Chains A and B, each alone.
Chain A
Amino acid sequence: AQTVTQSQPEMSVQEAETVTLSCTYDTSESDYYLFWYKQPPSRQMILVIRQEAYKQQNATENRFSVNFQKAAKSFSLKISDSQLGDAAMYFCAYRSPYGGSQGNLIFGKGTKLSVKP
């Protein structure tokens, strides 16, 4: 079974600086999807960024980018020019490429990010 591990329960960053959140996963599949979701205090789960395992190029969305290391099964999230609104829980998630019964997301336990003004 697939597992997702986030080894940093809490992280802190100064406003305007850069922070990297770690995520590792375990799978025997060669193709899959990886996601980072943000959960602010409102509890709404917001998709931050998505990576398809067959793509070698790292995904980028504005100030958010990933470092996807397939061989190492590592999927870290880099937030550049951190803003106060980035403060939230961040969850890494894995999804099998198959639909049906394997299509659910598998989440890590999350990293709580604080942003200092």
Chain B
Amino acid sequence: NAGVMQNPRHLVRRRGQEARLRCSPMKGHSHVYWYRQLPEEGLKFMVYLQKENIIDESGMPKERFSAEFPKEGPSILRIQQVVRGDSAAYFCASSPPVGLPGPKNIQYFGAGTRLSVL
């Protein structure tokens, strides 16, 4: 059973370009979370999605950032017109829906995407 897959592992963008980060959750998982990790910091929550729905985007900047989790395909975190301050590691985590066997309330993380803005 493959874990949470994120790609690319490293993304380089120039200021003003767009960044698209992809996350494929674990098989059977319908909940996806995005976190951002700045250097020397812990992870900070950005957005929580279920299939085709944004449940909580309270941690995501209102401007330039958007996220989606379509019925088919990976979850996408999109950053428009990137600035140097967007340079960070972006992590995706997934968790299973209620009713699936196994330990509850655990989020399984991908290896992250390191975004570098030049």
Distance in angstroms between the alpha carbons of A35 and B104 in the assembled complex: 12
Residue of B nearest to A92 (CB): B42
B105/A95 in contact, CB under 8 A: yes
Q: Please report which residues of chain B, range 30-69, place their CB below 8 angstroms from some CB of chain A when the two chains form the complex.
A: 31, 33, 35, 40-45, 48, 55-56, 58-59
- Residue numbers in A under 8 Å from B114 (CB-CB): 43
**Given A43-B114, A50-B103, A101-B55; A108-B42 close (CB under 8 Å):** yes
B112/A43 in contact, CB under 8 A: yes
**Given A43-B112, A43-B114, A99-B98; A104-B106 close (CB under 8 Å):** no
Q: Please report which residues of chain A, range 75-91, place their CB below 8 angstroms from some CB of chain B when the two chains form the complex.
A: 91
B11 within 8 A of A: no
- B interface SS class: strand
Distance in angstroms between the alpha carbons of A4 and B44 in the assembled complex: 12
Q: Classify chain A's interface size.
A: 20 to 34
B33/A104 in contact, CB under 8 A: yes
Q: Please report which residues of chain A, range 21-67, place their CB below 8 angstroms from some CB of chain B when the two chains form the complex.
A: 33, 35, 37, 42-47, 50
B55/A33 in contact, CB under 8 A: no
A106 within 8 A of B: yes
A97/B56 in contact, CB under 8 A: no
**Given A43-B111, A45-B91; A104-B48 close (CB under 8 Å):** yes
Chain A positions within 8 Å of B, measured between CB atoms, are: 4, 33, 35, 37, 42-47, 50, 91, 95, 97, 99-101, 103-110
